Amino acid sequence: MSYKITLSDGTIIDNLELNGNNFVSRTPLTAANFAGKLAHVTIEGPEDGYGLVGEHGPMMLAENRVQGWPDGYYFVLLDIPPAELERRQTRGDIEYIAMMTGVELEEAE
């Protein structure tokens, strides 16, 4: 039984297998296939034990093996943890305030 992923822009990636929490595609997928399309993700298929099947809020492409393995090309999508979402929102707020007030922010090393 295979899995189907629908990205937030309507892109459908189907005929996927699951190996652990890695999706396996017969066709190569690059980070560009997912860029800007992970705000809302729907994953359909048999229950997996990893909580992947269902509706997801923002996700991130955590791993993408574009070189391929004998059984296909592996990628991993993970839900973005609430603490990371909060950190990103706070950083965006700070950058906006800095831009509006003409303050130059230093980049952390």
Residue 50 lies in a domain: yes
Residue 97 clears pLDDT 80, i.e. is over it: yes
Q: Residue range 14-39: average pLDDT? A: 93
Total number of domains constituting the chain:
1
CA 35/CA 7 separation, integer angstroms:
10
Residue 108 clears pLDDT 70, i.e. is over it: no
Domain range for 63: 3-80
Residue 8 lies in a domain: yes
Q: What does pLDDT average to over the chain? A: 90
pTM for the structure as a whole: 0.76
Residue 24 lies in a domain: yes
For residue 87, give the amino acid letter: R
Residue 19 lies in a domain: yes
- In Å, how far are 59, 82, 88 from 40, measured between CA atoms? 7, 15, 17
Residue 102 lies in a domain: no
Q: Measured on CA atoms in the order 22, 58, 60, 90, is the torsion positive or negative?
A: negative
In this structure, are residues 3 and 18 in contact, taking their beta carbons and an 8 Å threshold?
yes
Residue 34 clears pLDDT 90, i.e. is over it: yes
Task: Output the six-digit token pair for 72.
Answer: 């296909």
Residue 30 lies in a domain: yes
Residue 99 lies in a domain: no
Residue 103 lies in a domain: no
